[in-house]
Chain A
Amino acid sequence: MEQTNFQLKQQKTQSNDWSARLHHATRATREDWLGKGISYLCIGVIILVVASMLWFITSKGIATFTQNHVSLGKFLTGTDWAPDQGKIGALPMIVGSFAVTFAAAIVATPFAVGTAIFMTEISPNKGRKLLQPVIELLVGIPSVVYGFIGLAVVVPFMRSVVGGSGFGIISATFVLFVMVLPTITSMTVDSLRAVPRHFKEASLALGATRWQTVSRVILRSATPGILTAVIFGMARAFGEALAVQMVIGNAAIMPKNLISPASTLTSQLTTGIGDTIDGTLPNNALWSLALILLLMSLFFNALVRVIAKRGQLKHER
């Protein structure tokens, strides 16, 4: 007779040792061990990646200070960047990065909030059918394409309007503005949608106009969410490499104005890391820039958390 491993079938004929039968490991038990093993392994891989990323970049990034004995203060405040001559003042890049980040956020936020208000309060229908795809497409455009358009359109435009080479912080701001716009908009939309409907209805019922309702009730109660959105946008701008590098001019000097070539942490890294030799001061100095990027990314992350916590507390009260 054909053997079948189907235990249900056997139960009717087999011995009555129920204790053994109910304690026995079966296919399902083994499957569960296997499944647990697989999924723990996968999450373990991700944790390992994150941990080694933090570890490697940190250990490389502090070599400038531990091996080359550059003082941290000099690194952060020095304005001369010529690593092959031993001058490693990172301030120009730090200032450049912060300048383009803040500038882009300042320009993008009104546009993002306006668009979000349109999508949630003025015309949800057009918002869904027209603007949602617009936002998604803007997110989808790769950053090298933004860089290319910056180079082909924005830089010549700036050159003709304000003179100079056209490369500089203002061009980078322009490009980053478009790049962070969809990020800030879609997150702002989420936070506006999360405002309880009765807030809005109560305000309208009291005779407030739409704008009064939006500005006094909706925007106010969505403020933590909008703030989070802006920080996400800033994080994206701070970390963006290629698009900025293509339009900022990459001069590692303190930016004196918005229209002369400057550089950011990311642009300096992109242009420099391939030309330096591992273990030398110029190379280590670049890794220190990468470490700043990493720390800033962690900082933005923490900031988002703090705001989220605050927002929660406010709601509970």
Chain B
Amino acid sequence: MNAKRTDFLATVIINLIVAAVVGILVFLLAYILISGLPHVSWTFLTGTTDAFSGAGGIGVQLFNSFYLLVLTMLISIPISLGAGIYLAEYAKDNWRTSLIRSAIEVLSSLPSVVVGLFGFLLFVVKFKIGFSVISGAIALTFFNLPLLTRNIEESLSAVSRSQREAGLSLGLSKWKTEIGIILPVALPGIVTGIVLSAGRVFGEAAALIYTAGQSAPVTNFADWNPMDAASPLNPFRPAETLAVHIWKVNTEGLATNAAQLSAAASAVLIIAVLLFNLGARLLGNFLYRRVTASK
């Protein structure tokens, strides 16, 4: 066979592969949206779940997902910001730094089920906090920290050295330079990373089934005092999220319409994740234009 024909054949095969990959995504999205969206209604989005069968609405789960997301971000953003600044600004190029980097690498490559089990061991077994919002949020933090830290470090390091020198030469402290001068320039990248990681956190289930738990006790949405047991804000109540709900319904769901329920819940989850991805892009671009003043 001559080289020209091989070349042609290879091109055809590659095109077929690409068509298959695009086809898979189109099928996935179409399947979920077509089979799920018809069952999504206002009552579904706000209703409560039957504790035994798992049938019914996903109102509480949806709230739990967002609540966990917010708590996770509240804990993980400051820590990864500090850690990212450490790596970008204070870390020297020595064995200790490479050890720290390896540790972060290890944490980011651990399967989320292992992170979840560690959270379970720590909060549920050792500290006896039980399945709770706070256990889940901390487990998600563990899972989120390495990615955010790396993203923040990369965004900070990408800012030109000359900006740092400008700040330092005016007698600003390193810290002030980093927070006041470098951080605003790095913000578009950091925000994009945060919103993307929010999408990941929102869809995560394996780290949650043994930390935030698999039950969504009916909460009283009129009571916003976090100290009250029935309050949705109570950080010590178990909190099944939307992603965990999908898993639960599918694996032990006794509901007769389990397939419909999970299709609808998956559609909601997918749309939320798509919105996060889209939001990350738009917000990143918007901030970038503001920072660089290119209108």
Contacts and interface: CB of A to CB of B under 8 A. Distances in A.
B205 A53 contact: no
A309 interface: no
A152 interface: yes
A148 B248 CA distance: 10
15 contacts: A28-B176, A31-B175, A31-B176, A39-B86, A54-B106, A137-B277, A144-B205, A149-B28, A149-B266, A152-B259, A242-B206, A242-B209, A290-B114, A294-B114, A300-B109
Interface in B212-251: 243-244, 246-247, 250-251
Given A43-B82, A134-B21, A134-B22, 19 more contacts: A31-B175, A38-B82, A39-B90, A42-B82, A46-B145, A53-B107, A56-B121, A136-B277, A140-B200, A140-B277, A141-B203, A148-B266, A149-B28, A153-B31, A178-B24, A239-B114, A293-B111, A297-B114, A301-B105
Contact of B111 (A36, A178, A212, A240): A240
A97 B38 CA distance: 37
Please report whether the interface of chain B is mostly helix, strand, loop or mixed according to DSSP: helix
A223 interface: no
A56 B123 CA distance: 12
A47 B259 CA distance: 43
Contact of B203 (A41, A144, A270, A298): A144
Contacts of A117: 14
Contacts of A86: none
B10 A211 contact: yes
A50 to B, nearest CB: 4
B121 A60 contact: yes
B122 A245 contact: no
B82 A130 contact: no
B205 A142 contact: yes
Interface stretch (B1-9, B50-58, B282-290): B1-9
Interface stretch (A67-75, A108-116, A190-198): A108-116
A118 B203 contact: no
B4 A209 contact: yes
Interface in A104-133: 110-111, 114-115, 117-118, 122, 130-131
Interface in A172-228: 178, 181, 185, 208-212, 214-215
Contact of B109 (A51, A181, A235): A235
Interface in B42-97: 78-83, 85-87, 89-90
A278 B32 CA distance: 39
A111 B111 contact: no
B274 A209 contact: no
A141 B262 CA distance: 15
Interface residues of A, number: 83
A36 B91 CA distance: 11
B263 interface: yes
B49 to A, nearest CB: 16
Interface residues of B, number: 89
Nearest to A232: B109
Nearest to A270: B113
A53 B115 contact: yes
Contacts of A42: 78-83, 85-86
A58 B204 CA distance: 24
Interface in A25-83: 27-29, 31-32, 34-36, 38-43, 45-47, 49-54, 56-57, 60
B117 interface: yes
A246 B174 CA distance: 51
B249 to A, nearest CB: 9
Contacts of B206: 143, 241-242, 266, 270
A141 B28 contact: yes
8 pairs of A and B residues whose beta carbons are closest in the complex: A239-B111, A35-B175, A142-B203, A42-B82, A114-B17, A241-B113, A39-B86, A209-B7
A307 interface: no
A141 B273 contact: yes
Q: Which of A40, A41, A209 has most B Cβ within 10 Å? A: A209
B257 interface: no
A145 interface: yes
Contacts of A301: 102, 105-106, 109
B29 interface: yes
Contacts of B82: 38-39, 41-43
